[in-house]
Amino acid sequence: MKDEKSSHIDAVEGLQDPADVSELRYRQLFDNMGEGVAIYEAVDDGEDFIFVDFNKAGQAMDGVNLADALGQRVSRVFPGVVDFGLLDVFRRVWLTGKPERHPVGLYQDEILVGYRSNYVYKLPGGQIVAVYSDETERLKAEEALRLKNMAFEDAISAQSIADTKGIITHVNPAFLEMWGHRNKEHAIGGSVASFFANEEDAGPVLDALAKSGRWEGEFLALRVDGSTFISRGLATSLRNEQGEVIAYQSANLDMTKQKQAEEERDRLNRQLQQSQKMESIGRLAGGVAHDFNNLLTVINNYAELLAADLRDADPMKEDILQIREAGMRAAALTSRLLAFSRKQVMEPIVFELNEVVVNMEKILRRIIGEDLDFQALLADDLGRIRADPGQIEQVLMNLAINAKDAMPQGGSLTIETAEVELDENYASQHPDALAGRFAMLAVTDTGKGMTAEVLERVFEPFYTTKDLGQGTGLGLATVYGIVKQSGGNIFVYSEPGKGTTFKVYLPLVEAEKPEQAAEVDTTNLRGKETILIVEDDKAVRDLTHRILASAGYKTLIAANGGEALLECEQHEGKIHLVLTDVVMPKMSGKELSDRLAKLFPKLKVLFMSGYTDNAIAHHGILDEGSHFISKPFTSPDLLKKIRAVLGSGVLIGPGGSEEDES
C-alpha cells in the first residue's frame, strides 16, 4: 500500500501540463497546512465576502465542510465575524491592501472558551486571505506563566531561583529588600551559600534538595551590609518534563522580630516565674518562721527559767545557757525569714532617707575597714519616705557587708541617694516593678561581680556563693523582704569582674512634702535630630528607641561598638548624638567613645549604665565631665538629658564627614 507521499509523486508524474502540476502542488500544500486558511471574494462593494476556498485545517477548526461554505457569505456561515470585528478587518484590508493581525476571543454561551489569531492579507487578484490558528493553549500557558511570575514578583516572602550549581538566576523585590541588594543585577550571579552567615550551612541544604527535592528550616542569614537576621526558608527542586532537576526555588521569611518577641516573652515569663517562686518561697518561709518562733518561745523561756533556778556552781547551768544561746541565734534566723516573707512587725514613720545614711556612716566605715575606699554621695532636697527606719538601716548594713565580702582584695564602696521616677515603660519590662516616683538608695562595689546564674537566685533565702560557715544566705533575702514590705523595688546590676550595684527604690510620700512635685513638661523635649543608640541589651535598646522615636528623633540602632562604628561610616545623613551603654562585650562604651573621638573630635556622646554615675566616674570608667544618665531612667529624664547635651555642636555628615550645625 502506497503512502500519501508516494501517491502525491505518482499524481504529479501523471500530469503533463505544468499548470496542472502547479495546481496540484498548491492544493496539496493548501490542504495540509497546520493553520486554518480561507480565501474570500468581496461582494456588495466590500460589505460582505463569500468563501472561495477553505483548507482542511480551517474546516476542522470551525466545524464547517467545504461544500457548505463555498459560495456562501462569511456573515452567514460565521455570524460572529460582525461582533468580533473581523468583517471590518476584511473590508479595510480589501480597501487598503495593508495586511492586519486580529486576535479574536471565542465564546460559547457568552463564556470565553478560547482564543484565535487571524492574519488577513490581500492577493493581487483582489481576493482576501485569512490565515488563522488556535491560540488557546498557548495563551493559557502564557497567562499561567504571567500569573506565576506575578505571584513570584509580588510575594511578601523573599523568592529566589538558583541553578543546579547553586548560582542565583532570579530574585523578587522582597528578596532584594530582605538581603539588602541594590537591584536584581546586584543579586543575580551570587551563590546560595552567600545567604548564610556561616557558608558551610549551605551544604546540608543542597544535599537535602539533591536527595529529596525539599528542605525546610531556620538559619542565620547574612545581609549584604554584614548584619545578620534569622530566616525561615523553604526550598524545593524544579524539574523538567523528563523529571530531571533543572533548578532550585526558595522562599524565605525574616523571623527576627518574631524570635525577638518570643525571647522577650520568654524573658518576661522567666521574670514572672522567678517573682512567683520568690512569693512561694516567702510564704513557705513565713509560715515556717511563724511556727518555729512559737516553738522557740517555749524553748528559750524554759531554758531561761531553768537557768534561773540553778546555782552558778551547778554544772548543768552552763548546758542550759548553751541551749538558750542556740535558741536566740535561731530566733535571729527566723526574724530574717520573716523579713524576707514580709511578715515581720514594722513601725513605719515618715523620714528622710539621707538621715539614715548619715547616721549609719560611722558604723559602716568601721564595718568595711580601712582597706576599702568609702564615700557617700547624697542628693540635695531628697523627698521623704514612709518606712521603718530600723529596717532601712538593716538594708543598708546588709548591702554594705555584702559589698565588703565581694572585695577581699580591697576596692571602693559608694553609697548614693537620688530622687527618680520609674515610668510605665520601665515597669512593663520588669513584672515585679512598680511605676512612680521613688527615693533611690544605691550601693555600688568594685568587687568580683556576679554571673547571670547567680543573679537569678541572688535574693533567694539560704542561697549563697560564700564558703561554708561564712554566710547563711539570708542577708540579701532579708533586704528583699524589707524593701518589698516597704512598698519598694530592688534591682541589681552586675557582671563578672565589673562589680555590682544594688538599687533600692522606696516610694516618696507626696502628702508629707511641703509642696507638690513639679510636673515634667515634655512638650518642649521633642527633637528631629538623628541619634545612634548603642546598647547590647535588646530590651533596653528597644525601650530607648521607642522613647526617642515617640519624641520625634530619628534613630540608628547598634548592638555593639563594631556595629556603631560601621553605622557612623556608612550613614549618609547627619548623626547628632551617640547614646551608648558603658559596659558592653568586646568593646566598652568608653572604648567606642575614644575611637569615635579620633575620627570626629567634636562628636557628642551620652553614656548610660545600670551602675550609678558617681560610682562609674569614681572608679575611672569614664572621664570626668562625661555626659551620663543612670539606668533605669524615665522618658522625661532621658529626653531632658539629650536636649541638654544637644545644645549645639558638630554633626557627623554623609560618609562620616563633619559639618557645623547652624
The tens digit of pLDDT for each residue in 20-41 reads 666 677 677 777 777 888 899 9
C-alpha grid cell, residue 566: 560601621
Of the candidates 514, 517, 488, 501, the residue with the CA atom closest to the CA atom of residue 385 = 488
The answer to whether the CB of 505 falls within 8 A of the CB of 422 is yes
The tens digit of pLDDT for each residue in 168-189 reads 888 888 888 888 888 888 888 8
How far is Cα 609 from Cα 499, in angstroms, rounded to an integer?
A: 13
Confidence of residue 520 (pLDDT cuts 50, 70, 90): very low
Confidence of residue 340 (pLDDT cuts 50, 70, 90): very low
Taking 50 as the threshold, does the pLDDT of residue 516 lie above it?
no
Highest mean pLDDT among 245-259, 550-564, 573-587, 621-635: 550-564
DSSP conformational letter for 45? T
DSSP conformational letter for 467? P
Outline where 406-451 has alpha helix (H). 424-429
C-alpha grid cell, residue 471: 554566710
Average pLDDT, the chain: 77
Taking 70 as the threshold, does the pLDDT of residue 522 lie above it?
no
More confident residue, 326 or 47: 47
The answer to whether the CB of 28 falls within 8 A of the CB of 56 is no
More confident residue, 458 or 622: 458
Mean pLDDT throughout 359-388?
85
More confident residue, 347 or 574: 574
Phi-psi region of 487 (alpha: psi -120 to 50; beta: other; left: phi over 0): left
Q: How many residues does the chain have?
A: 662
Reduced to 3 states, what is the DSSP secondary structure of residue 586? coil
How far is Cα 546 from Cα 122, in angstroms, rounded to an integer?
A: 74
The tens digit of pLDDT for each residue in 411-432 reads 999 999 999 888 877 777 666 6
Confidence of residue 8 (pLDDT cuts 50, 70, 90): very low
Mean pLDDT throughout 542-548?
83
- Cα–Cα distances in Å, from 107 out to 77, 83, 116, 130, 336? 16, 11, 11, 20, 92
The tens digit of pLDDT for each residue in 576-617 reads 999 998 878 888 888 998 898 888 887 889 988 755 444 454
Confidence of residue 530 (pLDDT cuts 50, 70, 90): very high
Whether the upstream peptide bond of residue 632 has omega within 30° of 0, thus cis, is: yes
Taking 70 as the threshold, does the pLDDT of residue 634 lie above it?
no
Mean pLDDT throughout 495-507?
91
Which amino acid is present at 257?
K
Taking 80 as the threshold, does the pLDDT of residue 396 lie above it?
yes
More confident residue, 272 or 452: 452
**Domains of the chain, with CATH numbers?**
1-28 (no CATH), 33-135 (3.30.450.20), 155-254 (3.30.450.20), 259-336 (1.10.287.130), 349-507 (3.30.565.10), 530-660 (3.40.50.2300)
pLDDT of residue 616: 52
